[in-house]
C-alpha cells in the first residue's frame, strides 16, 4: 500500500523540466554606451532599479555599481571644471602650498 502512494506521487505531471547548461561560463561584456543607457533609464526616481535591471538582464548589484561609478565620474569632472574655470586665479599663498 505504501508503494502505491509512492508511485502515485511520481506520475508524469509531477516532474519539472530542468535545463543543463554545459560548456564554459562567460561573463557578458557591456559596452560603455549600453551601461550609460541602462544607468540613465534607472535614474528616474519613479522607476524601480530592480525592474530596470531585470528588463535589461543585468544583476541589480552590478547596476548599482555602474550608478555609483557614474556619479563619481560626474563629481570628478565637475571638480576639474570648477578648478579650471576662467577668472579663478590662485593666490601666492595657494601656489606655495
- How confident is the model over 21-69, as pLDDT tens digits? 777 767 888 999 999 999 999 999 999 999 999 999 999 999 999 999 9
Residue range 66-82: mean pLDDT, rounded: 83
Answer for the pair 57, 35: CB distance below 8 angstroms, yes or no: no
Q: Rounded CA gap, 24 and 10, in Å? A: 34
The per-residue DSSP string of 66-96 comes to HHHHHHHHHHHHHHHHHHT-TT----HHHHT
Domain ranges of the chain: 28-85
Mean pLDDT on 6-32: 74
Q: How far apart are CA 30 and CA 13, in angstroms?
A: 40
Say what the pLDDT of residue 85 is. 74
Amino acid at each position: 500500500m505504501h508503494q502505491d502512494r509512492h508511485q502515485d506521487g511520481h506520475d508524469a505531471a509531477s516532474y519539472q523540466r530542468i535545463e543543463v547548461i554545459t560548456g564554459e561560463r562567460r561573463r557578458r561584456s557591456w559596452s560603455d554606451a549600453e551601461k550609460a543607457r541602462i544607468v540613465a533609464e534607472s535614474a528616474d526616481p519613479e522607476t524601480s532599479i530592480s525592474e530596470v535591471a531585470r528588463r535589461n538582464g543585468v544583476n541589480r548589484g552590478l547596476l548599482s555599481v555602474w550608478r555609483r561609478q557614474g556619479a563619481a565620474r560626474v563629481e570628478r569632472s565637475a571638480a576639474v571644471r570648477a578648478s579650471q574655470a576662467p577668472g579663478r586665479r590662485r593666490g601666492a599663498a595657494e601656489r606655495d602650498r
